[in-house]
């Protein structure tokens, strides 16, 4: 026969590993009891009991008996009886789920008080007012939480009494007034529920336990769980604990009372040394509620040196026991220190790095463990300048926090204006409904990009992130009017061109005026390698360790020499994706237009010949910046119409011109010829290379000549040529033959041996499914997970994000956008299949990923497990990718620390 389920555990019976059953708080109390810390005794009703209650609507039958037995033992330990008329034992009843849900569920204090025991408490404590204040608190909390009376009714009664006595603070109501209030509270309960406040202490206790179970499903608890991804069926444990009092007055200095919270280190900065707040003559809840201003914990030293020394001692014990930052809630009752709660403390990103580093230096944890305690998201947050947050700042609008950081500038409403003002030294924020490749110069010139449409992977977001530029997109409440050059907020505030705004890409908010900024030391230190203090030292330490354990290489997506150099200084081991389309914009556009408009080969060749030296110079610069490291250059991918003017704009220009321009007419013809319903699925990628004579040859020649030039300059160029959007091996075979032909031509012309690997992107499901064939003609595979996600899901990223994605996220069709974190089940499966089948055919096949997912922490862990050789991401995300690649390697050996 299986052992019957046990629903109640005394603190002495549990331990830290039992958080699932006893909740975080119960496990902490049990652990502290076990290691001899002064914890008021008590017991925990398990989450199992709550689950039964939530499932069946009734508590398990054994619970009553077990609780009564546990209470009897508690009474024995305390030498007092719950609610006894003279010197009663009082208990608190608190929720405590597996994962911390601060303030979301209920707590009831002072259980055991009734019309008799209140007098007993007054006598035993010697403090009549304290006893009556505790009694009215119990009736108020119990009436509201257990009996469902509207809390405002009690607050109103308190307000009336204060008004009558002309006092501003609850504290100033005297004993007589509190006794009257107590009677009024009881009357309110009777009137509202038709029932009396229960005088039986055991009845109070039992009903309070069930009320805590019920509070698992309050609206706010549900909303919180949803946001924090806490499963809805875990249930909460309930902790019943002997009350100790911090509000017994501080009249006798050697026997002071009070309550506080303390951390073993500063949870904001990570600095060593105790940190916290203390509130003399107060109950625990008062500190958390911020009812009165607390004193810094150091003042307890003067108020009660013995309790202070003891507290320091216990904090040291806890930190070395948990081997991490701990926080505690404590109470001093007449000079006696009690610890009421502990847990591994929450901390900022800065503190996370410093604490992990310091604990490792102190040899409390190993460098491997230190690395598991920080993550890439925290590191990215530390690299951006940030605003000093002030609670008084009300944003103009909220949008999607697409690219983190803080930027201040004047609003401008088109790209040219951003460029013009930037040239004049002005900081700008480019405001658009959405951005297109046309906006690129403005995006480069601006400090931040703000759009009213699009999500985290819209053009604005992707490009801004790539550039490490602040971006808030999809701020839908803003009406952006590019013609009138202004935006209007929901509440009617108008921001015109030239007005200063602040964009918080971390929070996803926009503010009027300039918020104060704090620069990031971390970003600077990582780029220069110079450490400027304990935080940068800690970050560099974590990265060095990640580098020493990771298997995945980290490359950059970069297409200018500047970005390449920056990526290299941030630790990139090459370029995994050099997109060539950005090299076709700006002043070169005229040449690209000429190439597109060419009616015969000679004209086209002339245009391509003019582009050749420019492309060669681009590649030479990038190869120089990445000397000795691989540079994967992708042949032109986007459909050509992206390089031509907008169809409507052109048509309007032609229609309104007195003498229509011939060139414009030709352009419009070309635009109309090339117009596609679904350009994403149209003439792009390798299709373009095969369809436009000379284009691919020009690009390959530019690469080959750049390599030759670098070789002649004494460099070590390692260029690789990448063919985009291949769907069948035939396409790659043709493209490869053409590339090899041009490479051989340049080799013959220059006498230099050109060993240039040729590979392909795997970004179409068909390519993944036929990877075995494709691998015969590929030296490498680079997974373009942006397009692979679009084509596997059968949707267009920008359109989907602007239309139904918000709904899908709300309805939890997916928890996170598949463009942000790789969809392991679908797209990931294709990656794995292509990888395995490609390698089976070509054992020397090199494999990487260059879609946005290459910089996403969770996706990096997947790519590590899948067995890819490298990830490639925007320069700015490289440190985080290095860190996560290290963490991924560790997670093979270390199970994630369950207690965090
Ligand atoms: C991809 O599709 O993942 C990719 C890197 O290519 P692009 O984003 O340029 O289409
Ligand atoms: Mg692609």
Mean pLDDT by 10 residues, the chain (900 residues): 84 95 96 96 97 94 95 96 95 92 81 96 90 94 94 92 83 89 96 96 96 89 76 94 84 73 88 88 64 77 93 96 94 94 86 96 96 94 78 82 86 94 92 84 91 76 75 91 94 95 90 86 90 93 98 97 96 97 85 87 93 96 98 94 85 84 86 87 95 95 98 97 98 98 98 96 98 98 98 91 82 86 97 98 98 97 98 96 98 54
Task: Looking at the CA of 578, name the nearest ligand.
Answer: 1
Distance 550 CA to ligand 1 centre (A): 25
Q: How far apart are CA 885 and CA 861, in angstroms?
A: 7
Assess whether 756 carries a catalytic annotation.
Answer: no
Distance 466 CA to ligand 1 centre (A): 12
Atom of ligand 1 nearest to the CA of 786: 3
CATH of 385-518, one of 2.40.128.50, 3.50.30.10, 3.40.50.1820, 1.10.760.10: 3.50.30.10
Strand order in the sheet with 486-488: 479-481, 486-488, 494-496
Distance 715 CA to ligand 1 centre (A): 29
3-state secondary structure of 333: strand
Atom of ligand 1 nearest to the CA of 783: 3
The pLDDT value recorded for residue 898 is 40
Task: Looking at the CA of 466, name the nearest ligand.
Answer: 1
Please name the fold of domain 550-639+676-756: TIM Barrel (3.20.20)
The pLDDT value recorded for residue 254 is 58
Atom of ligand 1 nearest to the CA of 577: 5
Distance 842 CA to ligand 1 centre (A): 24
Q: How far apart are CA 630 and CA 610, in angstroms?
A: 27
Q: What is the pTM of this model?
A: 0.81
Which H/E stretch holds residue 722?
strand 718-723
Distance 850 CA to ligand 2 centre (A): 9
Buried b (16+ CB within 10 A) or exposed e, 774-806: bbebbbbbbbbbbbbbbbbbebbbbebbbeebe
Distance 851 CA to ligand 1 centre (A): 5
Residue 57 CB partners (closer than 8 Å, separation 6+): none
The pLDDT value recorded for residue 111 is 97
Distance 787 CA to ligand 2 centre (A): 5
The pLDDT value recorded for residue 457 is 55
3-state secondary structure of 637: coil
- Please give the structure tokens belonging to residue 714: 């004494």
Distance 621 CA to ligand 1 centre (A): 23
Which residues line the pocket of ligand 1, CB cutoff 6 A?
577, 579, 637, 763, 784-787, 850-851
Residue 806 CB partners (closer than 8 Å, separation 6+): 455
The pLDDT value recorded for residue 592 is 87
Question: Which residue's alpha carbon is at the smallest distance from atom 8 of ligand 1?
Answer: 786
Place of tokens 């048509």: 651
Atom of ligand 1 nearest to the CA of 724: 6
Pick from 457, 635, 636, 786 the residue to mutate for probing ligand 1's pocket: most ligand atoms within 8 Å of its CB.
Answer: 786
The pLDDT value recorded for residue 895 is 44
Q: How far apart are CA 478 and CA 433, in angstroms?
A: 9
Nearest to 688 by CA among 741, 763, 637, 634: 637
Nearest to 315 by CA among 350, 279, 334, 339: 339
- The full set of domain ranges for the chain reads 244-347, 385-518, 550-639+676-756
What letter would DSSP give residue 339?
A: E
The CATH number of domain 244-347 is 3.30.470.20: yes
Catalytic position from the list 850, 861, 864, 873: 850
3-state secondary structure of 75: helix
Q: How far apart are CA 432 and CA 438, in angstroms?
A: 12
Pick from 583, 787, 874 the residue to mutate for probing ligand 1's pocket: most ligand atoms within 8 Å of its CB.
Answer: 787
Task: Looking at the CA of 726, name the nearest ligand.
Answer: 2
Distance 616 CA to ligand 1 centre (A): 23
If DSSP states are collapsed to H, E and C, what string results for 182-246? HHHHHHHHHHHHCCCCCCCHHHHHHHHHHHHHHHCCCHHHHHHHHHHCCCCCCCEEEEEEECCCC
Residue 281 CB partners (closer than 8 Å, separation 6+): 246, 247, 248, 249, 250, 257, 258
Task: Looking at the CA of 686, name the nearest ligand.
Answer: 2
Task: Looking at the CA of 437, name the nearest ligand.
Answer: 1
Question: Which residue's alpha carbon is at the smallest distance from atom 9 of ligand 1?
Answer: 579
């Amino acid at each position: 026969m299986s052992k019957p389920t046990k629903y109640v555990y005394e603190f002495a019976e549990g331990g830290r590993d039992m958080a699932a059953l006893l909740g975080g708080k119960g496990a902490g109390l049990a652990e502290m009891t076990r290691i001899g810390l002064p914890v008021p005794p008590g017991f925990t009703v398990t989450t199992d009991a709550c689950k039964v209650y939530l499932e069946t609507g009734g508590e398990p039958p054994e619970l009553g008996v077990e609780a009564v037995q546990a209470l009897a033992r508690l009474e024995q330990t305390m030498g007092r009886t719950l609610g006894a008329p003279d010197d009663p034992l009082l208990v608190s009843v608190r929720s405590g789920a597996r994962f911390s849900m601060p303030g979301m569920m209920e707590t009831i204090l002072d259980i055991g008080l009734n019309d008799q025991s209140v007098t007993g408490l007054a006598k035993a404590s010697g403090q009549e007012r304290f006893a009556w204040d505790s009694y009215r608190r119990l009736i108020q909390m119990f009436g509201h939480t257990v009996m469902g009376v509207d809390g405002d009714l009690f607050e109103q009664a308190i307000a009336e009494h204060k008004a009558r006595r002309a006092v501003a603070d609850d504290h100033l109501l005297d004993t007589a007034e509190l006794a009257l209030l107590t009677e009024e509270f009881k009357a309110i309960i009777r009137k509202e529920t038709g029932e009396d406040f229960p005088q039986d202490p055991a009845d109070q206790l039992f009903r309070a336990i069930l009320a805590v179970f019920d509070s698992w499903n309050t609206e706010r608890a549900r909303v919180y769980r949803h946001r924090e991804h806490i499963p809805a069926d875990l249930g909460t444990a309930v902790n019943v604990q002997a009350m100790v009092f911090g509000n017994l007055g501080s009249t006798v200095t050697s026997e002071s009372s009070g309550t506080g919270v303390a951390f073993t280190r500063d949870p904001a900065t990570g600095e060593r040394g105790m940190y916290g707040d203390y509130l003399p003559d107060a109950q625990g809840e008062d500190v958390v509620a911020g009812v009165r201003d607390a004193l810094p914990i150091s003042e307890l030293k003067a108020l009660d040196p013995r309790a202070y020394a003891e507290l320091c001692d216990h904090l040291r014990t806890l930190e070395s026991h948990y081997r991490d930052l701990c926080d505690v809630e404590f109470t001093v009752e007449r000079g006696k220190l009690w610890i009421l709660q502990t847990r591994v403390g929450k901390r900022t990103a800065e503190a996370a790095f410093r604490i992990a580093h310091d604990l490792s230096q102190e040899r409390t944890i190993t460098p491997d463990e230190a690395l598991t305690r920080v993550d890439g998201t925290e590191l990215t947050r530390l690299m951006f300048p940030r605003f000093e947050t002030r609670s008084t700042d009300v944003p103009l609008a909220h949008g999607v926090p697409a690219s983190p950081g803080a930027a201040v500038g004047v609003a401008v409403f088109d790209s040219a204006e951003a460029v013009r003002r930037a040239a004049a030294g002005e900081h700008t924020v480019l405001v658009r409904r959405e951005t297109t490749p046309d906006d690129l110069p403005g995006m480069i010139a601006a400090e931040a990009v703000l759009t009213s449409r699009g999500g985290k992977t819209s053009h604005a977001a992707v490009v801004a992130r790539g550039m490490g530029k602040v971006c808030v997109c999809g701020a839908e409440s803003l009406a952006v009017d590019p013609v009138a050059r202004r935006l209007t907020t929901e509440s009617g505030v108008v921001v015109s061109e030239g007005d200063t705004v602040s964009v918080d890409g971390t929070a996803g908010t926009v503010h009027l005026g300039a918020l104060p900024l704090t620069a990031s030391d971390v970003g600077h230190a990582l780029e220069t390698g110079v450490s400027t203090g304990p935080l940068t030292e800690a970050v560099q330490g974590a990265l060095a360790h990640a580098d020493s354990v990771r298997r995945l290489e980290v490359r950059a997506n970069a297409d200018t020499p500047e970005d390449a150099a920056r990526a290299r200084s941030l630790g990139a081991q090459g370029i995994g994706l050099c997109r060539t389309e950005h090299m076709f914009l700006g002043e070169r556009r005229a040449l690209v237009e000429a190439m597109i408009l060419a009616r015969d080969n000679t004209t086209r060749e002339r245009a391509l010949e003019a582009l050749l030296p420019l492309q060669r110079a681009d590649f030479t610069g990038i190869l120089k910046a990445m000397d000795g490291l691989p540079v994967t250059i992708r042949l032109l991918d986007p459909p050509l119409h992206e390089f031509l003017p907008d169809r409507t704009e052109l048509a309007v220009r032609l229609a309104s011109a007195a003498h229509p321009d011939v060139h414009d007419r030709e352009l419009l013809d070309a635009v109309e010829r090339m117009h596609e319903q679904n350009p994403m699925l149209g003439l792009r990628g390798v299709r373009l290379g095969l369809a436009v004579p000379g284009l691919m040859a020009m690009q390959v020649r530019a690469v080959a000549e750049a390599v030759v030039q670098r070789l002649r300059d004494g460099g070590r160029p390692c260029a690789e040529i990448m063919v985009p959007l291949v769907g069948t091996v035939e396409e790659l075979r043709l493209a490869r033959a053409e590339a090899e032909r041009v490479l051989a031509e340049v080799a013959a012309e220059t006498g230099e041996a050109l060993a240039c690997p040729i590979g392909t992107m795997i970004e179409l499901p068909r390519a993944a499914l036929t990877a075995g064939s494709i691998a015969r003609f590929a030296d490498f595979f680079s997974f373009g997970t942006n397009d692979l996600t679009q084509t596997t899901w059968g949707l267009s990223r920008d359109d989907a994000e602007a239309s139904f994605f918000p709904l899908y996220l709300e309805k939890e069709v997916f928890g996170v956008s598949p463009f942000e974190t790789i969809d392991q089940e679908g797209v990931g499966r294709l990656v794995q299949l292509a990888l395995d089948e490609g390698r089976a055919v070509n054992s020397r096949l090199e494999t990487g990923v260059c879609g946005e997912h290459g910089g996403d922490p969770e996706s990096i862990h997947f790519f590590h497990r899948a067995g890819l050789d490298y990830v490639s991401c925007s320069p700015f995300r490289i440190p985080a990718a290095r860190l996560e690649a290290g963490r991924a390697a560790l997670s093979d050996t270390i199970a994630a620390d369950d207690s965090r």
